[in-house]
Amino acid sequence: KAICVMIDNLTIRLEGFSGSFENCERVKENGNIAIYRLKGLSLTTPHPLALILAKRSGTLYIVNSLRKWYYGRASLLDFTSGTLLHAFKLLAGRLKISYEELSRGRVTQVEAGLNLRTRISCQRLFGLIAGYKTRPRNSIKNETLYFGDRTRGVGYKKVMLYDKTAEIVARMPLRKRFRQEEIFEVLARHGYFFPRYEFKLADRQALSQNGLDIRTVSDLVAGYEELYRFLAREARNFVLFERIGITERMTPKERLIAEGLNEYGYTEYLEKCRETCRSRTVKGLKSARYKVRKDLIRVIDRYDTGDYGSRQFRIDLGRNLVRISKHDPALNLPETLRELFIGRPASNNKRNK
């Protein structure tokens, strides 16, 4: 099956809730706050949604992973634009409200990502990823990478990449875990590996800063095409390389950059270069620092001696996008591939500055 956009954890604020909790389990009630749990749809690995009601105002907060609620916590399946709409309509039915009422709910947090199929193992892929934009990489048990400071704040964007199969196995019931491990081992022997990269946009400001005009549930459904482009655009910011080969074809500047990358690694050398930038204006300093990063990326793309780097990673993602386009009309394949391999058109750059 095609692997599509993963809308995972959401926080939805629904004012003036008119429905009921007859399909839910009451967890706790304390003064003005009542907490309920809505059981997931999966028969084997159900995953609940949390519902928090402020009784005096009638405001309902819907929290947790909508994808896991719909598919179960041990599934590789993701939402297409059509299945996302179906999930929201089922949710509205369980809450005894119309879809129109739910569609007006305010989306205050979005977690979106893609499960990929890559030609190399997750372990090798994670070893090759040097950073994301200017953020350094941090690893957990060779199964998860996160990039930069995980401290939360206004406009915060969390960036992660991890082995999706390891997560699924860990979430399986013990009686089924060994069988699931065997299935993924067989797939791996045939060259099927499933890393996932993910972005958590923690608030409205984070959504806006990343060019996503998502305010309501209705916006989220209607804006699925832009989510695909966002994920393709962000994939360009992962930097992968093994080692830079020093050749006679290099200019003196390229050779200097290559030696620095080999000695210090991407993020440390990038920071050293950015520290030398000078300008009389903030705009000029920002431009100079951007040029430094661009120069490093150009050398990596031209002279990486490994057989898998940033371009191969984008090619693997591009193949995933082609597969998805056959199942989801919301994916504009030409525009999304342009974002992935070339970058945003000039007109869009001006619009989103």
- At 219-240, the pLDDT tens digits run 999 999 999 999 999 999 999 9
Contact 223, 212 (CB under 8 A): yes
Residue 166: is its pLDDT beyond 80? yes
The pLDDT of residue 154: 62
pLDDT band at 351 (very low <50, low <70, confident <90, very high): very low
Quick one: which of 98, 100, 62 has its CA closest to 218? 100
pLDDT band at 149 (very low <50, low <70, confident <90, very high): low
Rounded to whole angstroms, how far apart are CA atoms 187 and 193?
7
Contact 233, 340 (CB under 8 A): yes
Per residue in 275-314, pLDDT tens? 999 999 999 999 999 999 999 999 999 999 999 999 999 9
The pLDDT of residue 282: 94
The pLDDT of residue 152: 61
Per residue in 183-215, pLDDT tens? 999 999 999 999 999 998 888 888 888 889 999
**SS3 labels along 72-116:** CCCCCCCCCHHHHHHHHHHHHHHCCCCHHHHHCCEEEEEEEEEEC
pLDDT (average), residues 37-65: 94
Provide Rg for the chain, Cα atoms.
22
Per residue in 250-266, pLDDT tens? 999 999 999 999 999 99
Per residue in 328-345, pLDDT tens? 999 999 999 999 998 865
> Whole-model pTM?
0.86
Per residue in 69-90, pLDDT tens? 999 988 888 899 999 999 999 9
pLDDT (average), residues 14-23: 96
Residue 1: is its pLDDT beyond 70? no
**How high does pLDDT run on average in the chain?**
90
Rounded to whole angstroms, how far apart are CA atoms 276 and 90?
56
The pLDDT of residue 161: 93
Residue 170: is its pLDDT beyond 60? yes
Contact 288, 273 (CB under 8 A): no
Rounded to whole angstroms, how far apart are CA atoms 180 and 257?
45
The pLDDT of residue 299: 96
- Cα dihedral sign for 148, 152, 153, 154? positive
pLDDT (average), residues 115-140: 91
The pLDDT of residue 306: 92
pLDDT band at 44 (very low <50, low <70, confident <90, very high): confident
Q: Residue 216 — φ and ψ, nearest 5°? A: -130, 170
pLDDT band at 45 (very low <50, low <70, confident <90, very high): confident
Per residue in 316-327, pLDDT tens? 999 999 999 999
Q: To the nearest whole percent, how much of the chain has pLDDT over 70?
A: 93
The pLDDT of residue 30: 92
pLDDT (average), residues 100-129: 93
Indicate the burial class of 335 (C-beta count within 10 angstroms; 0-12, 13-18, 19 or more): middle
The pLDDT of residue 352: 42
